[in-house]
Amino acid sequence: MYCQKCGHQLDDNQQQCAFCGTVQELGQPNIETKKCKKCERDIPVNANYCSYCGMDQALIVWKERPQDEPEPEKTIAGLDDASNSELNNLVANMKKAGIEVRVIKRDPKDLPPHKRPGLINSTRRLLRDSFKVQGRMGLADYWWGYLGMVILLLVVIELLMSFVKNTTLLELLLLVTTVVYFVPTFTASIRRFRDAGVPVGYMILRFIPFVGELIIWFFALRPSLEVRQQMEKEIERQLEQLKRQYDEQNHEHKDEQDAQDDKSDDDDKHHQDQP
């Protein structure tokens, strides 16, 4: 046992310190307590030293993590690609608060395997979001999903043509297949337009016979709006750098020309001063 005020060691049943005369509060009823910084046992709240281990409570305990113990990963809650509305609201609120926000999309290579653009993953996502017109769809996801839908359409049509002999039933099944193909690709094109910064109203062109889908594909080829903005900023930065270099070269050339003119004036003056 240790004195709560001076930290000297006491006998187990000693209630008053022989060095400082402090009466120990430990064990008395209805006292306010705190945790010791070392042993974390309850001690009187006004104690300078721990009554159990003698630790000076004014010292700062620095607990080092063993080298063989890995530091726990720190994760930050984020929003996935399907939470565009939440992301937009978050960005809007932060901008209102005067906080500069820059949204950077992750590289598809850094995504988990089940989220990377591909024939199976993108087709599954396209079918899953068949009735979703909000949000955006990346360029790679769109074309992989569209390719998957075209392959499924051709396979289903071939199977129907091979096994369904009833003309009326065949026409009905082909109509259903066409609708199943049209709806997800139509809504996916809307999301692709949003991502590319193309007005969604252009989707009316999809209903033009024969060439409507080709026109939609042409607009869907445009890169994401963020990518274009980054490219434009990079081009502006490079142009500004070239302009700055050009101005510096002109300034240096002008300084050299001025120096030569001054030298010529000095030479002319020297010749005039000679008899």
Q: For the residues of 72-114, what is the DSSP string, one character each?
A: PPP------TT-HHHHHHHHHHHHHTT------PPPGGGS-GG
Judge whether 47 and 32 are in contact, CB under 8 Å: no
Q: φ, ψ for residue 34 (rounded to 5)? A: -145, 170
Q: Stretch 78-94: mean pLDDT, rounded?
A: 61
Q: What would the pLDDT profile of 97-117 be if each residue is shown by its tens digit?
A: 777 666 665 555 555 555 788
Q: With cut-offs at 50, 70 and 90, classify the pLDDT of residue 75.
A: very low
For residues 62 and 135, the model is more confident at: 135
Q: Stretch 259-266: mean pLDDT, rounded?
A: 67
Per cent of the chain over pLDDT 90 is: 32
Q: What would the pLDDT profile of 211-229 be if each residue is shown by its tens digit?
A: 999 999 999 998 887 766 6
From the list 175, 83, 187, the residue with the least C-alpha distance to 127 is: 187
Q: What would the pLDDT profile of 232-249 be if each residue is shown by its tens digit?
A: 677 777 777 777 877 777
Residue-level pLDDT at 90: 73
